[in-house]
Amino acid sequence: MAVTLEALDYSRPVQPLFAQAARTGIIHSVFPKALNIAVGDTLFVLLSSEVSRMPNSVRLPAFVMERLYAKLHPGMEVSTGNGRLSIPALDLSIHLPRTAGWEPVPVIARHTWHNSTVARHARMLAQHLAHRSQQDGLAPLVKPLLLRQAAAETPLAKIALPLLRLLVRASQQRDSVGVEKAARGLAGLGPGLTPSGDDTLGGFIGIMALLSSQLGLDRTQLATIIANAARPHTTLLSATLLTHAARGELAEHVGELLISLAAPVETSEVVVQAAERVLAYGACSGGDTLLGLLLGLQASRIDYPIDYTGENYGYTGATQAEYVL
């Protein structure tokens, strides 16, 4: 017997996929709390109500997601359009609620932005990330990039460090050639459906798209340049999320952290709590995203100590190799 379900909520950018004429798609990947569905050159995700919203998500009750995880596998055919998602293998149809979709673009203009306040929060977050980050991914590079500290030398770090320096420097200088070169090099760098390089680019793009103009150095156009340069070199999921980020459409937990940067300095615990929600996302995606946000702030000329120029970055008397990856 056919079963019809109504989603709990959905992100506004998903609505056109359901409103269009029906198109065939496939189940791209399956996880206990997330089911990725590819339709043409884009992707949206069914999420458990237990996790925060994504810019391309439709959320379902947790028990429904548990059943879908048990019964579905990648490659299964689905149909999206005419107001519903149909999964023939389960004789299941999912439609969106009549309520308006969740808006993934944080309302930046509703808040007052002071560069000095954002800089104070950024310093604190860089130190917090250095203390909290695991050795996987790019998050440990917050130490040589922002804190004048040594970091472990890994193959991933050796490739990424000069590209991250180039990304920030080229963004500050409006050097689109340099920005594209850095984005191509970082795209797809690392394992997983959203490799570390892409998560870092996503955080960086979010700042370019939403905050750079508020902080006095408008780099909104660079967000699209980075997303377009990265797209051919990475996974479909990463490419989709980077495209959303270039439009200012962010995951709920990332948007909350970005908004918290406008909070008064004396309420810094609000920023830390928001950062913890980001860091809890994925094995290393949260830390990589936070690194990208911090580098995006630096590219927007938020003023705290950093150096992208020299061979001797962070050199304080120990051998240079200890401080430069």
Where do runs of H (alpha helix) occur along the chain? 15-19, 62-71, 115-132, 142-146, 155-172, 176-186, 196-210, 220-230, 236-246, 252-260, 268-279, 285-299
Distance from C-alpha of 48 to C-alpha of 162, rounded to nearest angstrom: 38
Distance from C-alpha of 81 to C-alpha of 215, rounded to nearest angstrom: 41
| Residue 322 in this model has a pLDDT that exceeds 80 | no
Cα distances (Å, whole numbers) of residue 111 to 120, 223, 263, 269: 17, 22, 9, 18
The band of 1, judged by pLDDT with boundaries at 50, 70 and 90, is: low
CATH number of 3-95: 2.40.50
Q: What's the pLDDT tens digit per position in 142-173?
A: 999 999 898 888 999 999 999 999 999 999 99
Q: What's the pLDDT tens digit per position in 233-274?
A: 999 999 999 999 999 999 999 999 999 999 999 989 999 999
Helix (H, G, I), strand (E, B) or coil at 183: helix
Share of the chain above pLDDT 70, in %: 92
Distance from C-alpha of 244 to C-alpha of 106, rounded to nearest angstrom: 13
| Residue 133 in this model has a pLDDT that exceeds 70 | no
Phi, psi at 141, each rounded to 5°:
-70, -5
Domain ranges for the chain, please list them: 3-95, 108-322
CB of 93 closer than 8 Å to CB of 4: yes
Which residues, in sequence order, are bridge partners of residue 84?
81, 95
